[in-house]
Structure 1
Amino acid sequence: MAWVILTAAGLLEIVWALALKESNGFTKLWPSVIGVSFSMLSFVLLTFALREVPVGTGYAVWVGIGAAGVVAAGIVQGEAASAARLA
């Protein structure tokens, strides 16, 4: 169950990162609210997952899911997919 929670935390990290980009430096209300709310929920789920998953492994997986997801979402939204960016 900890791995499911950790995966959910990683997916929420993707959402909050994208929402914060859309918030334009916290100048748009709803993207800001979504970004802050999902970041807190992501941290809470990460904390629960770390009860069973070693911290080094859990943190690496959480960051990896978030980083890969944000890069993929950026590419889908038309950002450049250069070799340096994907490395």
Structure 2
Amino acid sequence: IQPLIDRLNNLVEENLQIEEHKKLLFDELYQWQQASHRIIGDYYEKKYREIEEKLKEYKEECQEKLQKIKAQIEPRVSNQLNIMTHE
């Protein structure tokens, strides 16, 4: 009966080692998940900033174009209004 008891004790010990190893693997997996979430978050934050900057540049370009158009149109409109008020 002693060999069976020894074998059972060995199996219990092996099971404890397997459970400890499994816990370490799950801890490592959790750490990798956290790291990947940070990396993904950093990536999207960077992309968001890039898009925000491009939109700002585009807005500035549109403002400049609008100013040029206004500069071309305003004298004509002003001139037309003067003509109409003097008639």
How does the TM-score come out when normalised to structure 1?
0.29
Name which one, 1 or 2, has greater alpha-carbon Rg. Answer: 2
Q: Which has the higher contact order (CA 8 A, sep 6+)?
A: 1
Instruction: Provide TM-score, normalisation by structure 2.
Output: 0.29
